[in-house]
Amino acid sequence: MTGKKVLILGGGFGGLAAAQQLRRILPSEHRIVVVEKKSFFYLNAFNMQLITGEMKDSREGQRDLADLARKDIDWVHAEVQSIDPAGKTVRTSSGTLGGDYMIVALGAEKTPETMPGFAESACNLYDASGAIRIREALKEFESGRIVILCCATPFSCPGAPYEAAFLVDSALRATKKREKVEIALYTPEPRPLPATGTAMGEAVLGMLKERSIEFHGQHKARRIDGAGRKIIFESGEASFDFLVGVPPHTAPRVAREAGLTDESGWIPVDLQTLETKFAGVFAIGDITLIRQPNPTGLLLPKAWVFADEEARVVARNIAAEILAGQGRSKFEGVGSCYLEMGDDMAAYGSGNFYSYPAPRVYLEPPSKRFHTERRELERERLEALV
């Protein structure tokens, strides 16, 4: 048998999970090649620990991709410049590469520049340096109005802005400044975590209310007026003294130009196999568009828990085909996540997003145990991925 090559575009969460899984199953004559423009992997969820100060420096949460060589995974340090999905080849900043299979795991690009005023006025929650700026700003902030703004949907980790609101609340209570500060969250979503159905959203609304955090759903921002310290929405305005922002997201240009995306701007895939419309080309993680197979038409959230499981399914199926083995895997839309609440507590949501007639996802109340479990999971994933 001659060796096959699996080309993985993107060495973020999904790409690395697929590479590790493939390497565990496939003998070494088969090559696994990850093309990634960054030289390190950083687990985004650590931004919450940067805000609380549990993590001082983002370098504590990153791993050097050169270490992939130890696991017999080839890393090409290059930018993908164009993709030919029919030919399973890519042009990169260091030459052309091809494979027998291709996994597109290029994630969701954050585009703060597309929201006028964002760069000048908001601390970017989705950037490690932004998270550190939030931590530092909270030390100085004495009184006024802190706003958390989700610019557009969809965005990665639908729980993250809510976590930020809870952490800000907790930090201000710890320093006895909470009474002098208003906290408000504005989002285009109708309610928190809409993709989970109603139960989890209602539970989060209750937690926001208990902590006197305002929730303003169905607010789509048009621009931020930094000088006037206000956000201009399609309808109405809101003032702020300190602004935490979740920037707009888009699928990377190379995926759009390759004809992989549809009118949604994201890559549609088979709900169970994650194959794109091109045979042997799969897409996983934040770059995909997965509509839940129930009448709600809701989308699957963009979260690592799904990227991880999708990677596992795709890797197993590719390996089964290469090794002419039995047992194809199916992605079943099941997932869970922790919601950081501050005070070393986390809530835990889990359920099935493919269930009929609506997703069935529930939130378990905050506890220290969930917080500890989350910390363990983050560490375990970081060590396992590189």
134 within 8 A of 125, measured Cβ to Cβ: yes
Stretch of 36-44, 213-221, 224-232, 263-271 contacting ligand FAD, by CB under 6 A: 36-44
Kindly tell me which residue out of 22, 26, 31, 36 binds ligand FAD, with binding defined by CB under 6 A. 36
Site for ligand FAD in 177-236 (CB under 6 A): none
Kindly tell me which residue out of 20, 47, 121, 250 binds ligand FAD, with binding defined by CB under 6 A. 47
Stretch of 8-16, 50-58, 59-67, 262-270 contacting ligand FAD, by CB under 6 A: 8-16
Cβ-based neighbours of 114, under 8 Å, separated by 6 or more: 247, 248, 250
- Minimum CB separation of residue 130 from ligand FAD in Å reads 9
Q: How far apart are CA 254 and CA 259, in angstroms?
A: 9
The C-alpha R_g of the chain, in whole angstroms, comes to 21
Task: For residue 28, give the DSSP letter.
Answer: T
Stretch of 30-38, 170-178, 182-190, 320-328 contacting ligand FAD, by CB under 6 A: 30-38
Kindly tell me which residue out of 68, 122, 167, 254 binds ligand FAD, with binding defined by CB under 6 A. 254
Task: For residue 37, give the DSSP letter.
Answer: S
Q: List Cα–Cα distances, 141 to 42, 82, 133, 145, 314, in angstroms.
A: 28, 46, 12, 10, 47
Q: How far apart are CA 253 and CA 231, in angstroms?
A: 28
Taking CB under 6 A as the rule, does residue 368 contact ligand FAD? no
Q: Report residue 192: phi and psi, to 5°.
A: -60, 145
Kindly tell me which residue out of 184, 204, 305, 314 binds ligand FAD, with binding defined by CB under 6 A. 305
Taking CB under 6 A as the rule, does residue 309 contact ligand FAD? no
- Residue 210, classified by CB atoms within 10 Å of its CB into exposed (0-12), middle (13-18) or buried (19+), is exposed
Kindly tell me which residue out of 50, 65, 80, 165 binds ligand FAD, with binding defined by CB under 6 A. 80
Kindly tell me which residue out of 135, 219, 302, 316 binds ligand FAD, with binding defined by CB under 6 A. 302
139 within 8 A of 42, measured Cβ to Cβ: no
- Minimum CB separation of residue 346 from ligand FAD in Å reads 10
Between 80 and 208, CB nearer to ligand FAD? 80
Cβ-based neighbours of 20, under 8 Å, separated by 6 or more: 71, 73, 384, 385
Kindly tell me which residue out of 21, 121, 124, 156 binds ligand FAD, with binding defined by CB under 6 A. 156
Q: How far apart are CA 198 and CA 125, in angstroms?
A: 25
Can you tell me which residue has the tokens 């096959």? 4
Site for ligand FAD in 123-142 (CB under 6 A): 126
Site for ligand FAD in 333-352 (CB under 6 A): 337
- Total residues binding ligand FAD (CB under 6 A): 33
Taking CB under 6 A as the rule, does residue 35 contact ligand FAD? yes
